[in-house]
Amino acid sequence: MLLSLFVTPLHSAPPGQIVERVLWTLTFAAQLVLLVVLMGRDRARRFPWFTAGIALYALRLMAEILLAGRMAPVPLQETLLTLADLTAVVGLLVLIELARRAFSGLKRSLWIVNAVGLLVVASGVLAVWGSWPAKSDLALDTLLGKLRLMQLLAQKGDLLVALLTVGLGLLVVLFGRRFKAGWRSHAQMIAIGLSTVAIALLALQATVQSIIQTAHPHSQQEYERIVGLVGNLVNANKLVYLCALLWWIVWLWRDEPGAAQAVQIPADSTDASAEEKQ
């Protein structure tokens, strides 16, 4: 049913487009399954922003397919850029939620110091990462300037979230066991998945920038080869995200270590006390 959303059938589409469509379909289906797991296994109550982030990303995928070719270009860009900006904001809230879950036993002063330090390092890397547009290109008195500003916020926001995610994931893996994010805990499994996706995104951005700076095509064939290479890298990045979705589905379906024992202990103690009374 999902494949019917595409404009042309798979057998008549180019090979690269077929891969994109298959990845889109599998990703969207995996997101729906993950949302079912989050709500059905009562994980959404513990990780509401993570759940909202998955739902928002699924909404973006639907908008890209359902609205493309059915809306005027400008309203379409406004809608997609608004969703992209919201995704970056929700991504920051997901990191805050994950940090609070993973390091709930940490003193507030140390929590703030580490958070500020991580933000400073990530912001410094972001400042020197890639090029920044001129202020004249971001004039808010024109529609084009507003769209460019929204695009800049989405791109730089995604990079900032990715940098912070890698740093937080490293902290969770190294020190989470001392608090409430030990191995096989939901917080650590979410952090590992997010970090993997973030590393793939950063690698993609760095590789694409290197290709753009060094590639100087002299023919249409060379240009198409470069475009095909970038497309393959983008598809590889989408595949990493799909693997992360499967990772979350498996681990969030399973209970955390000790959860079953915690449920059984009160029942056992109640039975023992009842026997003593008899």
Reported as a single tens digit per residue, the pLDDT across 237-270 is: 999 999 999 999 999 999 887 665 444 444 444 4
Contacts of 86 (CB under 8 A, 6+ apart): 56
In one letter, which amino acid is 87?
T
Q: Residues 54, 34: contact at Cβ < 8 Å?
A: yes
Looking at per-residue confidence, does 153 or 19 come out higher?
A: 153
Looking at per-residue confidence, does 250 or 272 come out higher?
A: 250
pTM over 0.85: no
pLDDT digits (tens, 9 = 90+) for 146-199: 888 899 999 999 999 999 999 999 988 888 777 766 777 898 999 999 999 999
pLDDT digits (tens, 9 = 90+) for 82-126: 999 999 999 999 999 998 888 877 777 877 888 888 899 999 999
